[in-house]
Structure 1
Amino acid sequence: MGAMKVIICGAGQVGWQIARYLSSENNDVTIVDSNPDLVRRATDTLDVQGVAGFASYPDVLERAGAKDADMVIAATHLDEVNMVTCQVAHSVFKVRRKIARLRAQSYLDPAYGDLYKRDHMPIDVKISPEKEVAEAALQRIAAPSTFDTESFLDDQVQLLGIALDEDCPVLNTPLRQLTDLFSTLRAVVVGVRREGTLFTPAPGDQLFAQDQIYVIAQREDVDRTLDIFGKPTRQQERIVIVGAGNVGLTVARELEKGRSKVRVRMIDNSRHRAEVAADALERTIVLHGDGMDAEVLLEASVDRADAVLCVTDDDKVNFLAAVRAKTMGCKMTIALVNDPTLVSLMGPLDVDAYINPRATTVSSILRHIRHGRVRGVYSIGDAEAEVIEAQVLSTSPIAGRQLREVDFPEGALLGAIRRDDQILKPRGETRIVEGDIVLIFSLAADVPEVERLLQVTADFF
């Protein structure tokens, strides 16, 4: 696999995670940040070079090796710095591929799309954390009985994260028996997290209460899959959103566009933000008040809500508002959590689902820079595993072979195959052919081996 030379600007969570992925795949990575401590943290813990300085300054980019870089990823916390960095990388150093994280809605308005043309401000890929997070929130609301969900293979297949309860009808049954029992079900259990450890199950393994499982299911079979694992689907009709920032607003807008039955109420403790939201939305009722306050939550009818979505910019507020809503009788709570170490508190605090904006941003950036034929990648948990969607090339060691002949690493499972427009459920005798698109769940340690099996070339343009 040909290595790329990549410059990552911004050594925060997002820059660090992307540097970690790319350097582990033997790319030549340089990380740039104006904060020398963050640069040092990256160079101490990762196999990367570091430059302290302002990423948009031509001399700083030059020190970072921009003259022969293949790609610049601008993920500092300032939109304008990210934009100018891409401009300088293009105009001065002729860097071919430029990705920028942009937050402000105005920069993302399609009406102004001409701004990013090659001869104006050349940015190839614009990533908006708010947009990504709003999408993730809508997915969580749409699949209320899952703690994680993502679509693959052009929306024909879904990954479902399901927490199993005592009343799950298929506990203590070897998975191979489930395959026989539900022979027409196009769904595969690809991962199990038990007592904090994620593993890929063998056919003889059983599932237990309190397991968190990851299932890859064909879209038409999602409801049936949820049903089999004891999670009947129900319509979400009453939704309360705590936080009227960009994320809350985007979600409320999308919900208003959708089915007419949804009733949305929104709470924000800033009078200004509440007024802006009330003007921007049509059917949503906006309340000014503290989302952690019991009286305010009652006024928003949290006790009768199907879901409460806590998306303020403060993790602690999100967690506490979710906990309080749950104790008041709300059926499902979703919290926005920036600090991945807080995720372990979800269980004890009975928060149903979380969204980590950095994880969604990282996976959307990676989706645009994977080598060759990898079309998508989604990071599971605290980067414990990845779901990889890739096209099988003629050079791939798996092309033309039956699955049972392929030596997949222990931590990897094939979840679905798309051939032409058919989705196939993988079986031992299935033969993989060139052009197939495969969906593979892989523990982090086995990703390099999976990529070797896909024999992906370094041509990423």
Structure 2
Amino acid sequence: MKVIICGAGQVGWQIARHLSGEQNDVTVVDNNADLVRRATDTLDVQGIAGFASYPDVLDRAGAEDADMIIAATYSDEVNMVTCQVAHSVFSIKRKIARLRAQSYLTAIYSDLYRRDHLPIDVVISPEREVAEAALRRLKSPAAFDAETFLDGKAQVLGLSIDADCPVTNTPLRQLSDLFSTLRVIVIGLRRNGRLFAPEAGDQIFAGDECYLCLATEDVPRTLEVFGKKHVKQERVVIIGAGNVGLAVASALEAEEDRIRAKVIESNRAVAERAADALERTIVLNGDGLDVALLNEASIDRADAVLCVTDDDKTNLLSAVRAKEAGCPMAIALINDPSFAPLMAPMGIDAYINPRATTVSSILRHIRHGRVKGVYSIGDAEAEIIEAEVMTTSPVTGQQIRDIDFPEGALVGAVLKDGKVMKPTGTMRIEEGDVLVIFAMAKDVQEVERLMQVSIDFF
């Protein structure tokens, strides 16, 4: 597949890294020659320095015979015009654009993206993706990572294993025997900074980060087995009332189980805008690092604090200060992945990486055929793929133990006839089943081949 990626920033680079690693023909376009050089030096991609919306630049990038264009520059307008040029001049079939401004995303204006207006096939909103990720974290307070699959019937949770965890030093095979009624599979382990797909004889140790795939109904009991408490969030303090903070507060107001939220915003104009948009949420104007203001927001009585300003360091320090003031759970928005190792020493319970959420969203639309969901783990180290089995798939009619999955891949859950089932070696995979598969980055292409997801789109 020939793909043009416009924008060589963090998101564009990661998408290029994914696609070039799967032997796709990738060309990166950016008006910053240094970013283009970084991409061509570190990845197996071609690079063009120039403005992505210029027809001659796209022509040099090979737009004449490209299958897909991904417009992920920092400018919404450049992304929109790029898709228009790709459609009108080069007839590129698939066009994906990243748009940030909320006005472009309002449902009543969705006709804007019809083929006879602005022909964009998929619109990705980083702010909405991050807001949804924040809500998932709030609903899974015991986890440092959380994602839903199978229309909400299954989840992947990342849990930090404590010394008092009841199931440490127990082989995974034995765990399955001990808790046979629980629909849960350990699909990934991170130990000493290295992520891997565990085998049946592997054990879980204190200090590990453990990724579980489980039925949503079994979440409370699974957390109990792993020594975690399932605490219902009732009071939340949000620091930052920008697009992300406002989206989270609005979503919390719309929840059936009412969660009381208070918002702290340092910019007065932004705070006033949030106060006008929200009905039941208290908005305070001031610095999220101000102890007196945190006390005014009753931080010591809050179940969680969500720090989502546009500055990583402010988010980190606000989270630490809130924890010191008595808040039991702190979640921080972190753009720079190099800050991730600081989370545990600083006592921050979970973080949200906007780059990872945006990359996952774009990958969901790049994976062809019957792929229903993709979630990127860590620094693009692995993917969790949700895919429907087709008649032509090599896995159809086979027992799981007979399928030649690569070493770095594990089936975490299977949806059969609308029911989530725990995969076993003797389970037979049939057409129409939906599988949730964990795959290390190097094994994604082989998993796609087994699921036959790459050949039925183009």
Q: For 1:263, which of 260, 263, 266 is the aligned residue? A: 260
- Alignment correspondent of 1:419: 416
- Alignment correspondent of 2:379: 382
- Alignment correspondent of 2:439: 442
Give a deviation string over 1:412-437, Cα, whole Å, max 9, x none: 11111112312221111111123322
- Alignment correspondent of 1:298: 295
For 2:430 and 2:377, the matched residues in 1 are separated by 28
For 1:392 and 1:260, the matched residues in 2 are separated by 36
- Alignment correspondent of 2:118: 121
Give a deviation string over 1:374-427, Cα, whole Å, max 9, x none: 222111111121101112233333222211222322221111111231222111
SS at match of 1:22: helix
Amino acid at match of 1:354: Y
For 2:82 and 2:323, the matched residues in 1 are separated by 45
For 2:34 and 2:171, the matched residues in 1 are separated by 50
Amino acid at match of 2:192: E
For 2:19 and 2:402, the matched residues in 1 are separated by 30
Is 2:377–2:384's contact at 8 Å kept on the other side of the alignment? yes
SS at match of 1:214: strand
- Alignment correspondent of 2:141: 144
- Alignment correspondent of 1:55: 52
For 1:401 and 1:260, the matched residues in 2 are separated by 43
SS at match of 2:272: helix
For 1:202 and 1:23, the matched residues in 2 are separated by 29
- Alignment correspondent of 1:92: 89
Number of matched pairs: 458
2:281 matches 1:252: no
Q: For 1:180, which of 177, 180, 185 is the aligned residue? A: 177
Is 2:363–2:374's contact at 8 Å kept on the other side of the alignment? yes
Q: For 1:429, which of 406, 426, 430 is the aligned residue? A: 426
For 1:128 and 1:305, the matched residues in 2 are separated by 29
> How far does residue 238 in structure 1 lie from its aligned partner after superposition?
1.0
Amino acid at match of 2:236: I
Q: For 1:357, which of 338, 354, 357 is the aligned residue? A: 354
Is 2:367–2:453's contact at 8 Å kept on the other side of the alignment? no
1:156-167 equivalences under 5 Å are 156-167=153-164
For 2:457 and 2:352, the matched residues in 1 are separated by 29
TM-score (norm 1): 0.97
SS at match of 1:154: helix
- Alignment correspondent of 2:330: 333
2:46 matches 1:39: no
SS at match of 2:152: coil
Give a deviation string over 1:210-260, Cα, whole Å, max 9, x none: 221110001111111111111121210110000010000000000011145
2:450 matches 1:456: no
SS at match of 1:387: strand
Amino acid at match of 2:454: T
For 1:65 and 1:363, the matched residues in 2 are separated by 26
Amino acid at match of 1:435: G
What is the RMSD of the two structures over their aligned residues, measured on CA atoms?
A: 1.3
For 2:311 and 2:452, the matched residues in 1 are separated by 43
- Alignment correspondent of 2:72: 75
Is 2:367–2:454's contact at 8 Å kept on the other side of the alignment? no
Give a deviation string over 1:280-312, Cα, whole Å, max 9, x none: 111111111111122221221112211000000
- Alignment correspondent of 2:320: 323
- Alignment correspondent of 1:398: 395
- Alignment correspondent of 2:273: 276
- Alignment correspondent of 2:207: 210
Is 1:11–1:38's contact at 8 Å kept on the other side of the alignment? yes
- Alignment correspondent of 1:229: 226
Is 1:370–1:460's contact at 8 Å kept on the other side of the alignment? no
- Alignment correspondent of 2:63: 66
Q: For 1:311, which of 308, 311, 314 is the aligned residue? A: 308
Is 1:369–1:460's contact at 8 Å kept on the other side of the alignment? no
Q: For 2:168, which of 167, 171, 196 is the aligned residue? A: 171
Give a deviation string over 1:58-81, Cα, whole Å, max 9, x none: 111111111111111100001011
2:226 matches 1:243: no
For 1:258 and 1:435, the matched residues in 2 are separated by 33
For 1:243 and 1:255, the matched residues in 2 are separated by 15
SS at match of 1:90: helix
Distance 1:260 1:214, change over 3 A: closer
Runs of 5+ in structure 1 lacking a partner? none
Quote the sequence identity (%): 69
Runs of 4+ in 1 over 3 A off after TM superposition: none
For 1:117 and 1:434, the matched residues in 2 are separated by 34
For 1:340 and 1:425, the matched residues in 2 are separated by 33
For 2:363 and 2:258, the matched residues in 1 are separated by 36
For 1:447 and 1:325, the matched residues in 2 are separated by 40
Amino acid at match of 1:267: I
> How far does residue 198 in structure 1 lie from its aligned partner after superposition?
1.4
For 2:56 and 2:176, the matched residues in 1 are separated by 60
TM-score (norm 2): 0.97
Give a deviation string over 1:135-193, Cα, whole Å, max 9, x none: 00000001111111111112111001111222222222222222111111111111111
Is 2:448–2:454's contact at 8 Å kept on the other side of the alignment? no
> How far does residue 84 in structure 1 lie from its aligned partner after superposition?
0.6
Is 2:252–2:258's contact at 8 Å kept on the other side of the alignment? no
Decide which moves more: 394-403 or 171-180.
394-403
Decide which moves more: 34-43 or 195-204.
195-204
Give a deviation string over 1:341-361, Cα, whole Å, max 9, x none: 111111111111111111101
Amino acid at match of 1:11: A
For 2:113 and 2:247, the matched residues in 1 are separated by 23
